[in-house]
Amino acid sequence: MNLKNGLICILIVTVLSISAFNNVAAAPVSKLTSNTHSNHAGDVRGDKQQTYLIASFSPGIYLPMYTTAVGQSVNLYGILSTEPLPGNNVSLPDRSHGIPNALVFVWNVDSGLTPVVARMTSSQPDWKGMFMVKLTPEAAGVYNYQLEYDGNDSYQSSWSGAVSLTVTNVVAS
């Protein structure tokens, strides 16, 4: 009987420990993360509203990869929303759930710990929760960008997945 009761106690403690561990949100180890998903929810601390962030090279269709030539400008778009955002080459959602006037950071994932630029999301109805950054690459290569929203008193933080910009030395005709 003691062995059986001991095993049951160990099992209960293990289940409670796993449950408690899964309910604790860990702080990020690094600002830069590498992943292939484009729709990441923010952390799950407190009563803050969950956020979703997506990056795209098109304002109306999710476009995670783009090719351009050295010196040619390309627009990187972001949308911050309280509703899940679609991926896989489908239309982006309506802007009614976009979060206006929020500061979003654009990171070059491959180049270190300093953001490329920070932008405020729009409060205009047609662009609510969206922003645009014009990129003009000066060298050939592949550049991976990711967006970050730090959150505030009302909204959770979130990251977008990485999007890739391939830059060639030749202008496509």
| Whole-number pLDDT of residue 24 | 27
* Extended beta strands in 82-151, E state: 103-108, 117-120, 130-135, 141-149
Q: Which residue has the tokens 């990171």?
A: 107
The domain in which residue 123 lies consists of: 29-168
| Number of structural domains in the chain | 1
Would you tell me how many other CB atoms lie within 10 Å of the CB of residue 78? 24
Domain containing residue 140: CATH number: 2.60.40.10
Backbone angles phi, psi at 16, to 5 degrees: -65, -40
| Whole-number pLDDT of residue 142 | 95
| Whole-number pLDDT of residue 16 | 32
| Whole-number pLDDT of residue 135 | 93
**Separation of alpha carbons 148 and 159, rounded Å:** 5
Position 15 in a domain: no
pLDDT, one tens digit per residue, over 39-88 is 444 445 568 999 999 899 988 778 899 999 999 999 999 999 998 866 55
Position 113 in a domain: yes
